[in-house]
Homo-oligomer: A and B are copies of this chain.
Amino acid sequence: MPKCSEPAEREIDLLFQALADPSRRAMVDRLTCGPASVSELARPLAMSLPAVVQHLHLLEASGLVCTEKLGRVRTCSIESTALRTAEAWVAGRRTAWERRLDRLGDFLAEQTNKPEQESTQ
Protein backbone atom coordinates (compact mmCIF):
# COMPACT_ATOMS: atom_id res chain seq x y z
CA MET A 1 0.00 0.00 0.00
CA PRO A 2 1.67 3.23 -1.14
CA LYS A 3 1.66 6.20 1.22
CA CYS A 4 -0.60 8.93 -0.08
CA SER A 5 2.08 11.50 0.70
CA GLU A 6 4.36 9.74 -1.77
CA PRO A 7 2.92 9.78 -5.28
CA ALA A 8 2.88 6.52 -7.25
CA GLU A 9 5.75 5.78 -9.61
CA ARG A 10 3.37 5.83 -12.59
CA GLU A 11 2.21 9.31 -11.64
CA ILE A 12 5.78 10.64 -11.60
CA ASP A 13 6.44 8.82 -14.87
CA LEU A 14 3.61 10.67 -16.58
CA LEU A 15 4.69 13.99 -15.05
CA PHE A 16 8.30 13.91 -16.21
CA GLN A 17 7.32 12.32 -19.53
CA ALA A 18 4.95 15.21 -20.12
CA LEU A 19 7.66 17.74 -19.26
CA ALA A 20 10.25 15.99 -21.46
CA ASP A 21 8.88 17.42 -24.72
CA PRO A 22 9.65 21.02 -25.76
CA SER A 23 6.23 21.53 -27.39
CA ARG A 24 4.45 20.40 -24.23
CA ARG A 25 6.67 22.62 -22.08
CA ALA A 26 5.83 25.52 -24.42
CA MET A 27 2.14 24.77 -23.80
CA VAL A 28 2.71 24.74 -20.04
CA ASP A 29 4.65 28.00 -20.36
CA ARG A 30 1.80 29.59 -22.27
CA LEU A 31 -0.73 28.40 -19.69
CA THR A 32 1.17 29.91 -16.77
CA CYS A 33 0.15 33.28 -18.25
CA GLY A 34 -3.49 32.25 -18.04
CA PRO A 35 -6.03 29.76 -19.46
CA ALA A 36 -6.21 29.28 -23.21
CA SER A 37 -8.22 27.43 -25.84
CA VAL A 38 -6.76 24.54 -27.84
CA SER A 39 -6.37 26.77 -30.91
CA GLU A 40 -4.59 29.43 -28.86
CA LEU A 41 -2.19 26.76 -27.57
CA ALA A 42 -1.64 25.52 -31.13
CA ARG A 43 -1.04 28.93 -32.76
CA PRO A 44 2.67 29.38 -31.84
CA LEU A 45 3.51 25.71 -32.47
CA ALA A 46 4.71 24.50 -35.86
CA MET A 47 2.43 21.47 -36.07
CA SER A 48 -1.08 20.38 -36.95
CA LEU A 49 -3.98 20.78 -34.54
CA PRO A 50 -4.40 17.01 -34.01
CA ALA A 51 -0.76 16.86 -32.94
CA VAL A 52 -1.40 19.59 -30.39
CA VAL A 53 -4.47 17.74 -29.11
CA GLN A 54 -2.35 14.61 -28.61
CA HIS A 55 0.15 16.60 -26.56
CA LEU A 56 -2.74 18.06 -24.61
CA HIS A 57 -4.02 14.56 -23.80
CA LEU A 58 -0.64 13.69 -22.29
CA LEU A 59 -0.63 16.91 -20.29
CA GLU A 60 -4.09 16.08 -18.97
CA ALA A 61 -3.12 12.47 -18.18
CA SER A 62 -0.14 13.76 -16.19
CA GLY A 63 -2.40 16.10 -14.24
CA LEU A 64 -0.39 19.16 -15.27
CA VAL A 65 -3.29 20.63 -17.22
CA CYS A 66 -7.04 20.44 -16.74
CA THR A 67 -9.57 21.33 -19.41
CA GLU A 68 -13.25 22.09 -19.67
CA LYS A 69 -15.36 22.28 -22.79
CA LEU A 70 -17.99 24.97 -23.11
CA GLY A 71 -19.85 25.10 -26.40
CA ARG A 72 -17.31 24.27 -29.06
CA VAL A 73 -14.23 25.64 -27.32
CA ARG A 74 -12.15 23.72 -24.79
CA THR A 75 -10.40 25.88 -22.22
CA CYS A 76 -7.15 24.62 -20.69
CA SER A 77 -5.45 25.70 -17.50
CA ILE A 78 -2.51 24.75 -15.32
CA GLU A 79 -2.94 22.47 -12.31
CA SER A 80 -0.30 23.66 -9.88
CA THR A 81 -0.61 20.58 -7.65
CA ALA A 82 1.08 18.51 -10.37
CA LEU A 83 3.89 21.05 -10.69
CA ARG A 84 4.30 20.85 -6.90
CA THR A 85 4.54 17.06 -7.09
CA ALA A 86 7.32 17.18 -9.69
CA GLU A 87 9.10 19.93 -7.78
CA ALA A 88 8.88 17.96 -4.53
CA TRP A 89 10.33 14.82 -6.10
CA VAL A 90 13.37 16.66 -7.40
CA ALA A 91 13.81 18.81 -4.28
CA GLY A 92 13.64 15.73 -2.05
CA ARG A 93 16.51 14.02 -3.89
CA ARG A 94 18.57 17.17 -4.16
CA THR A 95 18.35 18.03 -0.46
CA ALA A 96 19.07 14.43 0.54
CA TRP A 97 22.24 14.51 -1.55
CA GLU A 98 23.30 17.95 -0.36
CA ARG A 99 22.77 16.97 3.28
CA ARG A 100 25.07 14.06 2.63
CA LEU A 101 27.71 16.36 1.15
CA ASP A 102 27.40 18.63 4.19
CA ARG A 103 27.87 15.72 6.62
CA LEU A 104 30.89 14.60 4.61
CA GLY A 105 32.32 18.11 4.79
CA ASP A 106 31.80 18.22 8.55
CA PHE A 107 33.47 14.84 8.94
CA LEU A 108 36.50 15.87 6.90
CA ALA A 109 36.83 19.15 8.83
CA GLU A 110 36.68 17.18 12.09
CA GLN A 111 39.43 14.85 10.88
CA THR A 112 41.80 17.73 10.04
CA ASN A 113 41.14 19.26 13.47
CA LYS A 114 42.55 16.14 15.16
CA PRO A 115 46.33 16.45 14.62
CA GLU A 116 47.02 13.80 17.33
CA GLN A 117 45.62 11.12 14.98
CA GLU A 118 47.33 10.28 11.69
CA SER A 119 45.22 11.19 8.64
CA THR A 120 44.50 8.34 6.17
CA GLN A 121 46.55 9.58 3.21
Binding site for B on A (CB under 8 A): 9, 12-13, 16-17, 19-22, 25, 28-29, 31-34, 78, 80, 83-84, 86-87, 89-91, 93-94, 96-98, 100-101
Which residues of chain B come closer than 8 Å to A19, judged between CB atoms? Answer: 12, 16, 20, 89-90
Q: Tell whether, in the assembled complex, residue B13 and residue A100 are in contact, meaning their CB atoms are under 8 Å apart.
A: no
Known contacts A16-B19, A17-B20, A19-B16: A32-B91 contact under CB 8 Å: no
Q: Tell whether, in the assembled complex, residue A100 and residue B34 are in contact, meaning their CB atoms are under 8 Å apart.
A: yes
A–B complex contacts, Cβ < 8 Å, 26 sampled: A9-B22, A12-B19, A12-B25, A13-B20, A13-B22, A16-B19, A16-B20, A17-B20, A19-B90, A31-B97, A32-B93, A32-B96, A32-B100, A33-B100, A78-B93, A78-B97, A80-B94, A80-B97, A80-B98, A80-B101, A83-B93, A83-B94, A83-B97, A86-B90, A87-B90, A90-B90
Which residues of chain B come closer than 8 Å to A28, judged between CB atoms? Answer: 93
Q: Closest 4 CB pairs between A and B? A: A16-B20, A83-B94, A16-B19, A17-B20
